[in-house]
A and B are shown apart, each in its own frame.
Chain A
Amino acid sequence: MRHAGLILCALAFAAAGVWRAVTLYRRAKLISALYLLAAYIREQVVRYAKEQKEICQRFQNERLEKAGFLPLLRAESEKRPWGALDRSFTRFFETTDPGKEVKDACLAFAASFGMTGMAEQAASCETFDRCMREIARREEKEIWNRIRLSVGTGFAAGCGFMILFW
């Protein structure tokens, strides 16, 4: 009975490591989705000069949808089109923490959306896109190390626990 408890305990530590790894993976994917949003905005602005409301209403991405960002964006742009992206990011980050770097870049990009001319808007989208790609690339590169580290640490902690109390 005691041994079973200790094994379960070790497995729980390992599971915590796996959960942390999954969170990291999701975050990396979320960041990837954000640069898709920037690319979409750029295309809609430069090629079609579409209104902000239409852009916000029509963008589709499964990951951002599941994360709850797109429903927020649609609701905000329906209510008031100007500043919709800004308000949506602000509300989204109340419940999701993608890290300070991502958060700052998103809020700066959103605050300038619709306030500039076309060339500057395109440049702003490109900068945001580049920034997100860079972060996503960095995160994805590190993700396997982090997964190994998280699972390994969890498992090692569990094993240590077992050896200590066996």
Chain B
Amino acid sequence: MDTKAYLIEHLPERFQESVRRFSRQKEWMEIRMRTGAPLAASATDGNYLIGKYGILRKGDAYHSCGARDLSQTVSALCEGSGYRYFDTLSGGFLTLDCGIRLGIACERQSEIDRVPEQLSSLNIRLPGMIEDAADPFLREMNGRELSSALVLSPPGGGKTTFLRALAKKLSRGAFGRPGLRVAVVDERRELFPAVLTRDNCDVLSGFSKGEGIRRAVRLFSPQVLICDEIGGEEDVAAIKEAGGSGVILFASCHASSAKEALSKPGIRALTEAGVFPCFLILTPVPGPRFSVEIHLEAAG
């Protein structure tokens, strides 16, 4: 069963048919549930509300989400085993083995485990499985020496999808380039959830990014190191360390331009230290299928 069908099956029953109808109309990657509001979805060409008959148009009937629907959805997606995910649930997110990611907003957290209670909003994201997402970049780098780069895009712009595809292609070898030793530091298990094949990558999950990067460099002697969403001081220090050990680094950061990225002190420090000589800017292209435009820009 594909992840979209899996997700629909785990939604409260009264929403399932509406989402199936919507799926026939649009290619979507995210579904949002908010208490007191209809379901909302982010598709490749915009954001939509979902009514009983698919896209919600003026005057259409719709099912409104209740707090119970939200907690039922989380419980169903955890297969009734929320305790298995308590370490991430307390941080307000959840990555399932199938790669589906949940962002959770709540009114309060439980006293002991800090698990969200009285949920108010839920963002459910499907994993991007686009094998050729990094091909335009690799094609451009064909025949050139691979160098470290920081991948930039606004949230939901395809950074994780790009890095996942890049890790696979680099480890396998592509565009005349032989396979490399690739280590992926995947703190939140978003890049390589359990069901995805890891090809020749060493995936380090369950550590903080900084710790993961240090372990990867020390224990796996990678030629390429990939990690998602950097920003914290610890991440920056560890990346600086790795950058000085001759490892090619690919990391991502929320920003829509080089200027925006450089406004972050950590990123500026890394750029000034010469860790990332270039930025890879991803711009989602509206259309029926998910695709991004990749723009290479020299840092500094």
A residues near B (Cβ < 8 Å) are 45, 49-53, 80-84, 113-121, 123
| A120 surroundings in chain B (CB, below 8 A) | 83, 110, 112-113, 115
Q: Does B49 contact A (CB under 8 A)?
A: no
CB-CB under 8 A from A53, the residues of chain B are: 79-81
Instruction: Pick the contact of A114: B78, B110, B112, B113 (CB < 8 A).
Output: B78
Interface centre among A52, A80, A82 (most CB of B within 10 A): A82
A113 B86 Cβ-Cβ under 8 A: no
User: Assuming A53-B81, A117-B86, what are 19 further A-B pairs, CB within 8 angstroms?
Assistant: A49-B81, A49-B83, A52-B81, A53-B80, A82-B72, A82-B75, A83-B80, A114-B81, A115-B71, A115-B75, A116-B83, A116-B86, A116-B110, A118-B86, A118-B113, A119-B86, A119-B112, A120-B83, A121-B83
Q: How far is the CA of A51 from the CA of B86 in the complex (A)?
A: 13
Report Cα–Cα, A14/B89, bound state, in Å. 59
Q: B90 → chain A, closest Cβ, in Å?
A: 7
Q: B80 touches which one: A49, A113, A118, A123 (CB < 8 A)?
A: A113
Separation of A53 and B76 alpha carbons in the complex (Å)? 12
Partner of B110 from A52, A81, A117 at Cβ < 8 Å: A117
Complex contacts, B78 vs chain A, CB 8 Å: 82, 114
**Is the CB–CB distance between A115 and B113 below 8 Å?**
no
If A115-B75, A117-B86 touch, does A84 touch B80 (CB 8 Å cutoff)? yes
Report the count of interface residues on B (CB-CB < 8 A): 19
Q: Is B84 an interface residue (CB 8 A)?
A: yes
Q: Please give me the residue from chain A that is nearest to B76 by CB atom.
A: A82
Q: What is the number of contacts between chain A and chain B, taking CB atoms within 8 Å?
A: 68
Give complex CA distance A52, B80 in Å. 6
Of the candidates A83, A115, A123, the one having the most CB atoms from chain B within 10 angstroms of its own CB is: A115
The answer to whether B112 touches A51, judged by C-beta atoms less than 8 angstroms apart, is no
Which residues on A sit within 8 Å (CB–CB) of B115? 116-117, 120
Q: How far is the CA of A114 from the CA of B76 in the complex (A)?
A: 10
Partner of B113, one of A80, A82, A116: A116
Complex: chain B residue closest to A86, CB-CB: B80
Q: Which residues of A contact B71 (CB under 8 A)?
A: 115
Given A82-B75, A83-B75, A114-B80 contact (CB < 8 Å): yes
Residues of chain B within 8 A of A80, CB atoms compared: 76
Which of A52, A53, A80 has most chain B Cβ within 10 Å?
A52
Given contacts A114-B75, A117-B90, A118-B86, contact A81 B113 (CB under 8 A): no
Q: Is the CB of A123 within 8 A of B112?
A: yes
Say how far A110's CB is from chain B's closest CB, in angstroms. Answer: 11
Contacts of B113 in A (CB 8 A): 116-120
